[in-house]
């Protein structure tokens, strides 16, 4: 990225000004014609060009049609970051199906719930990942399907398609590549030409939320949401032709899918994949393939930073990082930028419900701003709506007690509306009605402040607020104070039961490497900056790798509360 951000933005906007939102597979096939010989998916063993992925996606789509996939039937994907995930996503879309990408780290009972709740008619799965045998799990959940019969647990399920990197075959299932190669590319293109064209307003994915506070909900994601989000990110970040993005985060998540797979295709770029994150291997991949950008969550960013300190690699091609998903201290942002040699470092905010990173800081923003804000609304480009000031989404904050709109600089619940916002949750009418009002405003559940320049800072989660006596306490305020201590790397505060006050605060502390503190020192430090009732009653030290995180690096605070309840007497003593 040798040219300026503004120049790159201008080039992209000029190039894209004739584009209109398209179904994701149609747009990719168009880009594949333009960039057919460009590298698109760079894996550990092999690199796939745009032409490779395009042809295989079309062949796989034709194979699904042979298996009698009907329009809008649901296809569950249980696949780590293999190139076959990308082929499956485009293939399902091209065949007229709706993809249901699932977290492959889930346990049997969790997969059981999601496959059932999503009414999936087909499952595309890896056979074995690490110590998890997905074929065995599915045999336990739906043994009848392996015998060609209907499943009692999953009545809609017709077929299980298995991708085996070693080429193994499993009786009662269809092998991924047998299905793909059952149709020649010319025949596949002819088959697809007869299909009814989808609308951009059609649902392309049912993406399940992380479930940090409750059971996962299936978000209805449209082609239009995906396309507009990717376009806005390309403009804000100034995506240049041939951008190479290292993507160690799971592709089933909208962050990697939209900001990586889809956005990269808009500039003939490539994504560098890693099936299992390993920081040493990550740096090697970035060095060998000359990555110019990274998409990651803070937990991964920190591990890359520590590994680069211990075993430096030549990352001279690396220019940018988009790191989001949880809060990071200003010191960590500074270290990431300086020690990884980044010219452009941004953070952002998004939800599955509004198509990934719809708020982003500017690549030219100072570190102090990146540490304070989660960004402002991404550009709408030439497809932005006049009624939304040229954007594709609108944000405001509402008073959590009265529901009235708040002015700039005042805290309230962050709400949003626009074409980037989902229409609701699959088969969850009550949850949909509770989350999206009659005017289309989505309640994010986040407390936030919008400043006069449109930059948004998060101040907490409504569900995380706890009550000490008659006072409401927002954990984030306390966490900000604790992480300002130079020996504290991370701090997470929850409310726990108390017989006298109703609830009190408990802080989980991750120290900087090699540092030591005791509870009294932290208590005294916090007392200098917080009202007495806000200072946590309990402190517990924990290692970073002990934190209960989702696959995308988000902390599951309800699990911290479970840990407390399991060790209540020990903690209180």
Orientation of helix 330-339 relative to helix 298-310, angle to 10°: 50
Phi, psi of 245 (to 5 degrees): -115, 125
* 189 belongs to a structural domain: yes
DSSP code for 477 = H
Of the residues 437, 460, 483, the one at which a domain ends: 460
* 12 belongs to a structural domain: no
DSSP code for 512 = P
The pLDDT of residue 214 is: 57
The pLDDT of residue 530 is: 85
- pLDDT at residue 548 is higher than 70: yes
- Cα–Cα distances (Å) from 507 to 327, 481, 532, in that order, read 15, 12, 15
Under the banding of pLDDT at 50, 70 and 90, the label for residue 572 is low
pLDDT over 90 percentage in the chain: 81
- The model's pTM is 0.85
Of the residues 418, 437, 460, the one at which a domain ends: 460
Same-domain pairing of 77 and 182: yes
Q: Given phi > 0 = left and psi -120 to 50 = alpha, else beta, which region is 170? A: beta
Residue at token pair 């969550």: 297
201 near 222, Cβ under 8 Å?
yes
Same-domain pairing of 60 and 137: yes
Same-domain pairing of 190 and 245: no
Of the residues 413, 444, 460, the one at which a domain ends: 460
* 19 belongs to a structural domain: no
Same-domain pairing of 381 and 306: yes
State the CATH number of the domain containing residue 86: 3.40.50.980
Interval 107-133 mean pLDDT: 94
Task: Please provide the average confidence, as pLDDT, over all residues in the chain.
Answer: 93
The pLDDT of residue 531 is: 77
Which is more confidently placed, 170 or 467? 170
Same-domain pairing of 230 and 88: no
Taking the mean position of all CA atoms in its chain, how far away is CA 168?
31
* 9 belongs to a structural domain: no
Under the banding of pLDDT at 50, 70 and 90, the label for residue 326 is confident
| Residue 96: exposure state from Cβ atoms within 10 A (0-12, 13-18, ≥19) | buried
Interval 501-530 mean pLDDT: 92
Same-domain pairing of 444 and 564: no
Residue 8: which of 247, 267, 256 has the closest Cα?
A: 267
Domain hosting residue 135, numbered range: 24-198
- pLDDT at residue 408 is higher than 80: yes
Interval 19-38 mean pLDDT: 97
* 11 belongs to a structural domain: no
CA 279/CA 282 separation, integer angstroms: 5
**Poorest-pLDDT segment among 96-105, 172-181, 428-437, 494-503:** 494-503
pLDDT in tens, 196-227: 999 999 999 999 986 544 578 999 999 999 99
Cα Rg of the chain, angstroms: 24
Interval 86-102 mean pLDDT: 98
pLDDT in tens, 121-170: 999 999 999 989 999 999 999 999 999 999 999 999 999 999 999 999 99
100 near 156, Cβ under 8 Å?
no
Residue at token pair 């790191």: 323
Under the banding of pLDDT at 50, 70 and 90, the label for residue 532 is confident
Interval 449-461 mean pLDDT: 92
Phi, psi of 204 (to 5 degrees): -110, -25
Domain count, the chain: 3
Interval 247-266 mean pLDDT: 96
Same-domain pairing of 448 and 478: no
Same-domain pairing of 424 and 294: yes
Which is more confidently placed, 1 or 220? 220
98's tokens: 């709706």
Residue 24: which of 266, 196, 348 has the closest Cα?
A: 266
Interval 392-401 mean pLDDT: 94
- pLDDT at residue 470 is higher than 80: no
* 67 belongs to a structural domain: yes
Same-domain pairing of 416 and 471: no
Same-domain pairing of 85 and 194: yes
- pLDDT at residue 244 is higher than 60: yes
Under the banding of pLDDT at 50, 70 and 90, the label for residue 80 is very high
Sign of CA dihedral 9, 11, 12, 18: positive
Under the banding of pLDDT at 50, 70 and 90, the label for residue 501 is confident
* 209 belongs to a structural domain: no
The pLDDT of residue 533 is: 83
The pLDDT of residue 552 is: 65
**Poorest-pLDDT segment among 80-94, 122-136, 319-333, 351-365:** 319-333
- pLDDT at residue 175 is higher than 90: yes
State the CATH number of the domain containing residue 245: 3.40.50.12780
Same-domain pairing of 409 and 509: no
Same-domain pairing of 503 and 367: no
Residue 263: which of 248, 282, 244, 276 has the closest Cα?
A: 244
The pLDDT of residue 498 is: 83
* 203 belongs to a structural domain: no
State the CATH number of the domain containing residue 495: 3.30.300.30
């Amino acid at each position: 990225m040798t040219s300026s951000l503004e120049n790159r933005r201008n080039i992209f906007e000029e190039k894209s000004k004739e584009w209109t939102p398209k179904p994701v597979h149609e747009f990719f096939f168009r880009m594949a014609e333009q960039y057919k010989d460009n590298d698109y998916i760079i894996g550990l063993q092999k690199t796939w060009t745009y032409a490779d992925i395009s042809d295989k996606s079309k062949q796989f789509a034709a194979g699904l049609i042979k298996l009698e996939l009907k329009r809008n039937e649901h296809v569950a994907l249980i696949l780590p970051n293999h190139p076959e995930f990308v082929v499956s996503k485009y293939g399902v879309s091209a065949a007229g199906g709706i993809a249901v990408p699932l977290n492959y780290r889930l346990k049997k009972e969790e997969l059981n719930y999601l496959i059932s709740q999503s009414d999936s008619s087909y499952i595309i799965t890896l056979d074995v990942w690490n110590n998890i045998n997905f074929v065995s799990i599915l045999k336990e959940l739906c043994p009848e399907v392996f015998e060609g019969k209907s499943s009692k647990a999953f009545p809609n399920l017709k077929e299980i398609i298995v991708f085996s990197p070693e080429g193994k075959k499993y009786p009662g299932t269809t092998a991924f590549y047998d299905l793909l190669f059952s149709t020649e590319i010319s025949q596949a293109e002819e088959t697809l030409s007869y299909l009814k064209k989808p609308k951009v307003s059609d649902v392309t994915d049912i993406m399940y939320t992380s479930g940090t506070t409750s059971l996962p909900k299936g978000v209805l994601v449209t082609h239009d949401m995906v396309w507009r989000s990717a376009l806005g990110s390309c403009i804000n970040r100034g995506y240049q032709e041939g951008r190479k993005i290292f993507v160690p985060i799971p592709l089933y998540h909208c962050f990697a899918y939209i900001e990586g797979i889809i956005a990269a295709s808009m500039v003939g770029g490539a994504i560098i994949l890693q099936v299992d994150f390993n920081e040493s291997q990550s740096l090697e991949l970035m060095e060998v393939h000359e990555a110019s950008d990274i998409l990651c969550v803070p937990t991964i960013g920190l591990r890359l930073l520590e590994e680069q300190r211990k075993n430096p690699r030549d990352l001279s091609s690396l220019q940018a990082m988009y790191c989001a998903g949880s809060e990071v201290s200003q010191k960590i942002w500074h270290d990431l930028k300086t020690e990884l040699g980044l010219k452009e470092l941004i953070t952002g905010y998004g939800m599955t419900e509004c198509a990934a990173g719809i708020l982003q800081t500017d690549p030219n923003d100072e570190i102090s701003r990146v540490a304070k804000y989660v960004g402002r609304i991404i550009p709408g480009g030439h497809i932005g709506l006049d009624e939304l000031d040229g954007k594709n989404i609108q944000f405001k904050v509402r008073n959590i007690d009265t529901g009235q709109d708040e002015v700039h600089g005042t805290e309230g619940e962050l709400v949003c509306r626009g074409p980037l916002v989902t229409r609701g949750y699959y088969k969850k009418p009550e949850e949909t009605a509770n989350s999206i009002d009659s005017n289309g405003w989505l309640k994010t559940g986040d407390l936030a402040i919008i400043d006069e320049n449109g930059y948004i800072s998060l101040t907490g989660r409504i569900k995380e607020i706890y009550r000490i006596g008659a006072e409401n306490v927002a954990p984030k305020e306390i966490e900000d104070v604790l992480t300002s201590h130079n020996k504290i790397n991370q701090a997470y505060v929850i409310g726990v039961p108390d017989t006298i006050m109703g609830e009190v605060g408990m802080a989980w502390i991750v120290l900087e490497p090699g540092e030591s503190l005791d509870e009294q020192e932290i208590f005294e430090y916090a007392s200098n900056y917080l009202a007495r009732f806000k200072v946590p009653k309990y402190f517990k030290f924990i290692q970073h790798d002990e934190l209960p995180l989702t696959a995308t690096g988000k902390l599951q605070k309800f699990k911290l509360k479970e840990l407390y309840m399991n060790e209540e007497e020990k903690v209180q003593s």
